[in-house]
Amino acid sequence: MQELIERIRKDGKIKPGNVLKVDSFLNHQIDPKLAYAMAQEIKRLYADETVNKVLTIEASGIGLAVLTGYLFECPVVFAKKSKSSNVSDDLYTAKVHSYTHGTDHTVIVSKSYLNPEDRVLIVDDFLANGAALEGLRSIVEQSGALVVGAAIAVEKAFQPGGARLRAEGMRIESLAKIASMSDDSIVFCEE
Amino acid sequence: MQELIERIRKDGKIKPGNVLKVDSFLNHQIDPKLAYAMAQEIKRLYADETVNKVLTIEASGIGLAVLTGYLFECPVVFAKKSKSSNVSDDLYTAKVHSYTHGTDHTVIVSKSYLNPEDRVLIVDDFLANGAALEGLRSIVEQSGALVVGAAIAVEKAFQPGGARLRAEGMRIESLAKIASMSDDSIVFCEE
């Protein structure tokens, strides 16, 4: 998506360790007009699919997910991060490893909000190692619902998550796909 | 706002200790159509004011805040909850006490995203004791920006936050204002 790529070139900041900071328009401060355009692009990419639920994970995916759900006219569920290894009969849970922080956390979704008849689009801001997406897929599968696919704002295609999950059959559409990064430049994949 | 009040009557769940669960449409699962209507109502209520930034706190205020920012055509900033008492020259910080969990946490906003010329509308899902709102107000004040007011989805008017902050001069508009709750009923304030 050209508009997002240009914004990353303009306002993204590269930090040591292949960290891309998009805090000024996506993660900490959000540009709602850009986010709406991104949701429209997700709607266009998945126009051939029936989606009746959008699933994301708190916190930074929520804005994009709510706009996406607005366009699909369906509810949006956000998985919560739990400090405890919260196991309860009422919850679907998955363990997600954070490569950035080197920690594990548990994500939870109430069983009330995912049903076997759901066709779920997973929305998130970043895809790198794929841990969050894997956790969300596991939660959808536990519910018996179908993962229609995932829509990601920024994919770091030089990290293994996208390739692995696509090889496992998951449809993933990324609005900006980064082929490589160095300390002072970003190369995007061919569109 | 009648649509929200009716939805709370229909789908809200009252739990012991004056806890109102609105997980099915506001907090864990979000109804984006309702959230959009709520953002429109916030825009109407603050139509007389210039707002050039929306501020909220992660996670459950983000959806409503992004839709509100979309209608005001301005950036949305969400304060992050920090586990550490994160003090840094780059951050505005405030301590927020959670009455629900009996714990304190620190909320942070990067100094890059609030400036003295900003006219800030604070958006959040709940107002009860007012701790979160007070923390966000403190952060705006540290930046030298102006708090235009706050827009709250659900105010528990029988708890002291709203009255205290209004007495201190803060404009607060709540879309649903609960006068009292018992185990099996909710009484809303006169509209």
Interface confidence, given as ipTM, is 0.95
Give pLDDT, residue A86.
59
Note whether A70 contacts B29, CB cutoff 8 Å: no
Question: Which residue in this structure is represented by tokens 């229609």?
Answer: A148
List residues of chain A with CB under 8 Å from any CB of chain B: 23-25, 28-33, 35-36, 58-59, 62-63, 65-67, 69-70, 73-78, 80, 109-110, 112-113
Q: pTM of the predicted model, to two decimals?
A: 0.96
How close, in Å, is residue A115 to chain B by CA atoms? 13
Taking only the tens place, the pLDDT of each residue in B46-63 is 999 999 999 999 999 999
Structure tokens at B131: 């701790």
Chain B residues in contact with A58 (beta carbon < 8 A)? 58-59
Q: For residue B102, what pLDDT is reported? A: 84
Q: Which pLDDT score, from 0 to 100, does residue A170 have?
A: 98
Instruction: Mark the ranges of chain B whose per-residue pLDDT is less than 70.
Output: 83-87, 191
Place of tokens 């009716």: B6
Measure the CA angle with vertex A10, ends A8 and A13; round to 5°: 65
A151 burial (CB, 10 Å; 0-12 / 13-18 / 19+) is: buried
Question: Inter-axis angle of helices A2-11 and A32-45, to 10 degrees?
Answer: 140
